Structure 1
Amino acid sequence: MDHHRTTRRVRAIVRRHGPTAQTWRRRVAFLGGAIVIGLVAFAFAEAADWAARRFTTLERTWWWLPLLLTPAGFAFFAWATRRFAPDATGSGIPQVMAATRDPDDAMTSLTSAKTVVLKLILTIGAVLVGASTGREGPTVQVAASIMGYAHRLARVPIRASVFIAGGAAGVAAAFNTPLAGVAFAIEELAAAYEQRMAVLVMAAVLIAGMTSLGIAGDYVYFGAMRSTLPLTQAVLAAPVAGVVGGLAGGLFSRLMLAAGGSDWRPLVAVRRHKLIFAAACGLVVAILGVTAGLTWGTGYDAARSAITNGAIPWWYAPAKFATTLATAIAGIPGGIFAPSLSVGAGVGDLVRPMFPTAPGGTIVLLGMVAYFTGVVRAPLTAVIIIAETTASRGLMLPLLAAALIADFTAQIVSKERLYHGLSLRFGRMPEPTQVQHESDDRGNGSVPRA
Structure 2
Amino acid sequence: MLSDGAKTRIRGFLSGEAWKRRVALWGGAVAVALAAIVFARLGDAASRLFASALAFSPYWALAITPAMFALLAWLTRGRLKGTRGSGIPQVIASVQSRDHALRENWLSLKVVASKLLLTVAALAGGASVGREGPTVHIGAGIMHGIGRVMGYRDPYQTSRFLLAGGAAGIAAAFNTPLAGVVFAIEELSGTFEHHFSGVLLTAVIAAGVVSLGLMGNYAYFGHANVSLDFGAGWWAIVLCGAVCGLLGGAFARLIVAAGAGRPHWLFKHRARSPVWFAAACGLALALLGLWLGKGMFGTGYEQARELLQADHSSGGLFGAGKLAANLVSSLAGIPGGLFAPALAVGAGLGDNLSQLVPSAPHQAVILLGMCGYLAGLTQAPLTSAVICMEMTDNRELMLPVLATVLIARACSALVCHTPIYKALANQLAGTGAGQAAPAQH
| TM-score above 0.5, yes or no | yes
Distance verdict in 2 for CA 1:327–1:219, change over 3 Å: same
- 1:407-426 alignment, distance < 5 Å: 407-426=409-428
Tell me how far apart the structure 1 counterparts of residues 122 and 358 of structure 2 sit (CA, whole Å): 39
Distance verdict in 2 for CA 1:390–1:358, change over 3 Å: same
By how many angstroms is 1:18 displaced? 9.0
The aligned counterpart of 1:286 is 286
By how many angstroms is 1:314 displaced? 2.3
The aligned counterpart of 1:136 is 132
Tell me how far apart the structure 2 counterparts of residues 349 and 160 of structure 1 sit (CA, whole Å): 40
8 Å CA contact 1:160, 1:193 repeated in 2: no
The aligned counterpart of 1:369 is 371
By how many angstroms is 1:106 displaced? 4.5
The aligned counterpart of 1:225 is 224
By how many angstroms is 1:209 displaced? 1.4
Counterpart check, 1:402 vs 2:394: no
Distance verdict in 2 for CA 1:228–1:192, change over 3 Å: closer
Distance verdict in 2 for CA 1:70–1:312, change over 3 Å: farther
Deviations 1:175-215 (A, max 9, x none): 00000001101110234654321111111111111211110
Distance verdict in 2 for CA 1:23–1:106, change over 3 Å: farther
8 Å CA contact 1:133, 1:297 repeated in 2: yes
The aligned counterpart of 1:23 is 18
- 1:71-86 alignment, distance < 5 Å: 71-86=66-81
Identity of aligned residues (%): 42
- 1:311-330 alignment, distance < 5 Å: 312-330=314-332
By how many angstroms is 1:313 displaced? 4.6
The aligned counterpart of 1:252 is 251
By how many angstroms is 1:262 displaced? 4.1
- 1:27-426 alignment, distance < 5 Å: 27-102=22-97, 104-157=100-153, 158-191=157-190, 193-272=192-271, 273-293=273-293, 294-309=295-310, 312-426=314-428
8 Å CA contact 1:132, 1:296 repeated in 2: yes
Tell me how far apart the structure 2 counterparts of residues 234 and 195 of structure 1 sit (CA, whole Å): 40
Distance verdict in 2 for CA 1:302–1:313, change over 3 Å: farther
Distance verdict in 2 for CA 1:199–1:234, change over 3 Å: farther
TM-score where L is the length of structure 1: 0.89
Q: What amino acid maps onto 1:281 in structure 2?
A: C
By how many angstroms is 1:35 displaced? 0.6
By how many angstroms is 1:259 displaced? 1.3
By how many angstroms is 1:159 displaced? 2.4
By how many angstroms is 1:271 displaced? 2.3
TM-score where L is the length of structure 2: 0.91
Deviation larger for 44-53 or 104-113: 104-113
Tell me how far apart the structure 1 counterparts of residues 191 and 162 of structure 2 sit (CA, whole Å): 10
Q: CA RMSD in A?
A: 1.8
The aligned counterpart of 2:437 is none
Count of matched residue pairs: 416
8 Å CA contact 1:126, 1:332 repeated in 2: yes
- Aligned to 2:306, the other structure's residue is in SS state helix
Tell me how far apart the structure 1 counterparts of residues 30 and 105 of structure 2 sit (CA, whole Å): 24
By how many angstroms is 1:98 displaced? 0.5
5+ residue gaps in structure 2? 1-7, 433-441
8 Å CA contact 2:233, 2:360 repeated in 1: no
Tell me how far apart the structure 1 counterparts of residues 331 and 194 of structure 2 sit (CA, whole Å): 35
Deviations 1:293-346 (A, max 9, x none): 121100011111111126545211111001101111211100010000000001
Tell me how far apart the structure 2 counterparts of residues 364 and 162 of structure 1 sit (CA, whole Å): 36
5+ residue gaps in structure 1? 1-12, 431-450
Tell me how far apart the structure 2 counterparts of residues 174 and 128 of structure 1 sit (CA, whole Å): 19
Deviations 1:197-242 (A, max 9, x none): 1111111111111211110001111010111110113431101110
Deviation larger for 50-59 or 351-360: 351-360
Q: What amino acid maps onto 1:276 in structure 2?
A: W
The aligned counterpart of 1:4 is none
Q: What amino acid maps onto 1:304 in structure 2?
A: R
- Aligned to 2:201, the other structure's residue is in SS state helix
8 Å CA contact 2:259, 2:427 repeated in 1: no
8 Å CA contact 2:234, 2:360 repeated in 1: no
Larger radius of gyration: 1
Deviation larger for 230-239 or 16-25: 16-25
Distance verdict in 2 for CA 1:191–1:228, change over 3 Å: closer
8 Å CA contact 1:242, 1:370 repeated in 2: yes
Tell me how far apart the structure 1 counterparts of residues 238 and 361 of structure 2 sit (CA, whole Å): 17
Q: What amino acid maps onto 1:254 in structure 2?
A: R
By how many angstroms is 1:63 displaced? 1.5
8 Å CA contact 2:172, 2:207 repeated in 1: yes
Distance verdict in 2 for CA 1:416–1:17, change over 3 Å: closer
Q: What amino acid maps onto 2:413 in structure 1?
A: Q
- Aligned to 2:78, the other structure's residue is in SS state helix
Deviation larger for 130-139 or 257-266: 257-266
